[in-house]
Structure 1
Amino acid sequence: MRGVAVLGFLLAVAPITATPGASLTLVVSRVASGGRRQGWWVILGTVTGLYVHATLAAVGLAALVLRSSQAFWVVKLVGAGYLVGLGLWMLWSASRRRTEAGRRPTVSARRLPWRVDHPYLQGLLGNVLNPKAAAVYLTLAPQFLEPGRPVLVPMVLLATAHAALATCWLAGWTVVSGAAARLLRTASVRRMLDRLTGVILVGLGVRAAAT
């Protein structure tokens, strides 16, 4: 694969990457609640999701979603349902945090990456269940591949370039959010941020379902 093809792909996905979405919302929220480390977990989950989409598109398994309106409809609703559910969970967390304000904090158990509330899994599912992310590798990425040649390795190379771009973008927000962590972790600001995050995620889910 030529470098100009990779550069062209990066220029094409840059506006999509910079558009605020579930990943950026999760990064800001998780950094505010648990520090920069949680932001890096979200980034890792998002990047893993990009490789999942690239691999499925390369082997042709994801083509069914693009060609079958029923399959695409199911995936879209599952992804939308996940975003709405995650948003409602954030709203519930905000109300719970209000009732627990003033209580003595307790030491929480270590959260493993495959737990539902872990930032890695949230970042992974938020990307894997996003039809727009799948569409990038089903419709946009093939335009930068050479006809008649194997597609798996070039698709992975494009995903790697995309992952690097997404990592830089989200890492910048992780640093900014971490710098403001002291302010963001005050009880009133945390509740407001949780509510805002919940509303944004619900809105993204509803938009995904209605689009």
Structure 2
Amino acid sequence: MNKTRLYKLTWDFTHSGDNEYDVSHHPFEKDINTIHYLINPELYGIELIKKPIFFQADFSIISKYDYPTNSLRIPIFSKKMIDIVKSLAKDQLDWFDLIMIDDTYLEERFDKNGNLKKEVPINTEFKTFRFKKTEDYINLEQSEYRPLKSNPKAPGRIKKYVLNEPETGFRPMFRTKYIPSSLILTEEVKNEFEKSEIKGCVFNELIYERAKN
């Protein structure tokens, strides 16, 4: 069986022409909690994630790009991306609705009860997600890494990746133990994104070796 090509999905930060994110978390407090809740299903219950999640966005950019940059650095997918992933990665994900507020709207956005006012311009076509579980693909014994000072048994920075590829193959899209912040795709998903002309994605190939028995 040929080795599966894998890619880390990141953002195209060059399209906006400035240093601002396309999308910013709103409200801004407790951002770090939201990030942890979304990438660590084994540590945090799904009920901790507030639904829907509010952002403010540059509508001129999110109308053109499927994978917007954002202040939380979480995956925010357009409907085109969602449809592709749902067709390839069934039952892997829990999806969360997002409400994007037009960042040019400067009036009061919420009423005294904390509800979004009806006159506020919004976009609800994007979603984020959380994997139901984190995979355990990295073979730490055969990989080369710099250990964490706080925990020498855990990797701080991995220099050489060695992965345990299941007989059935990697999941089409996944996060894995030891690098849970990285969103990894197989070449199949990458090709589908490219065929559909998804905009805003950068695919960095993950160079790895297969684990030896």
Structure 1 length-normalised TM: 0.24
Structure showing the higher strand proportion among its residues: 2
Relative contact order (alpha carbons < 8 A, sep ≥ 6): 1 or 2 greater? Answer: 1
Structure showing the higher helix proportion among its residues: 1
Structure 2 length-normalised TM: 0.24
